[in-house]
Amino acid sequence: MTRQTCIVPAPSKETEPGVWSPQLRNRRDVDIYLPDSYIDGRRYPVIYMHDGQNLSDPSTAFAGTWGLDAVLGRLAERRIQPIVVGIQNTKDRLAEYSPFPDPRHGGGDGDAYLSFLVDTVRPRIDKRYRTRTGPAHTAILGSSMGGLISLYAWIRRPDIFGLAGVMSPSLWFARDRLFDYIGSADLSRGRRLYLDVGTAEGAGTLRDVRALRAILRARGMDRRTLIYLEDRGGRHSEDAWGRRLERAIEALFRRGTPR
């Protein structure tokens, strides 16, 4: 007897071209991935993801894709069906994704970028699509510098982002100011963070992520609210993040919102 496999259709993708940011004075495309079940009338949680060019389309990716379509299809089989909003980056990516200026690299436009997400992109998405708008149903997720700004957004705006996926975050960028900020932040209950790193990303990266985990644990986050993964042999690459993406999204949404 042959075992039959249930094939879930890939999510549909829409693009809002050239979305203007009054906060940053620039434009970028924003991609929206809708679950196949979107036609049924219900409302859906939302994930805001950075580096939108790299999520699914090889023709726009600058370093390989994450295979988001396939990931969302597999998650749908387990009834995890978020709307994903992929915000494409600009030439000012380093500055926009950094919460604080770095002595060597400058930057520090993270608050303006966060305002763009919260005050410009999010209202457009909530108006046009059937979203679940509370922080318990709103996630932010990214890798490297995108992981850094996701961590900052989760701490800075708990009224918006109750869930965050922080993959291989660039904690070296303005490290002292960043760790001081995290150490004094209000990490109240009711939110969840997924944090990961590859063991082949370099000793400094691994050390910093482990230090972040220790701070978060000391501030009261337990195994239910802080999901931590070290990917043995994982490198700092789109391929590695794509392989871990399914687990990250499932960790944030599968067990419901922590109380």
Tokens for 103?
């002595």
- Examine residue 3 and state whether it is found in any structural domain, yes or no: no
Could you say which residues of the chain have pLDDT below 70? 1-10, 189-190, 255-259
CB 22 within 8 A of CB 120: yes
**Nearest alpha-carbon partner for 66 in 76, 74, 56, 75:** 56
- Examine residue 178 and state whether it is found in any structural domain, yes or no: yes
Q: What is the predicted pLDDT for the residue at 32? A: 98
**Nearest alpha-carbon partner for 109 in 25, 168, 53:** 25
DSSP class of residue 132 equals -
Element (H, E) at 249: helix 238-253
- Examine residue 30 and state whether it is found in any structural domain, yes or no: yes
- Examine residue 135 and state whether it is found in any structural domain, yes or no: yes
- Paired sense of beta strands 26-34 and 12-21, if any: antiparallel
Q: What is the predicted pLDDT for the residue at 101? A: 97
Q: How many structural domains comprise the chain?
A: 1
pLDDT above 70 coverage of the chain, percent: 93
Q: What is the predicted pLDDT for the residue at 38? A: 93
- Examine residue 23 and state whether it is found in any structural domain, yes or no: yes
Q: What is the predicted pLDDT for the residue at 10? A: 63
Q: What is the predicted pLDDT for the residue at 2? A: 43
- Examine residue 2 and state whether it is found in any structural domain, yes or no: no
Q: What is the predicted pLDDT for the residue at 63? A: 77
Q: What is the predicted pLDDT for the residue at 254? A: 80
pTM: 0.93
> What CA–CA distance (Å, rounded) separates 188 from 77?
32
Q: What is the predicted pLDDT for the residue at 189? A: 66
- Examine residue 203 and state whether it is found in any structural domain, yes or no: yes
Q: How many residues does the chain have?
A: 259
> What CA–CA distance (Å, rounded) separates 134 from 98?
25
Q: What is the predicted pLDDT for the residue at 9? A: 61
CATH number at residue 19: 3.40.50.1820
Q: Which structural domain, as residue segments, surrounds residue 128?
A: 12-253
- Examine residue 259 and state whether it is found in any structural domain, yes or no: no
- Paired sense of beta strands 26-34 and 83-87, if any: antiparallel
Cβ density class 42-78: b for 16+ within 10 Å, e for less: eebbbbbbbbbbbbbbeeebeeebbbbbebbbebbee
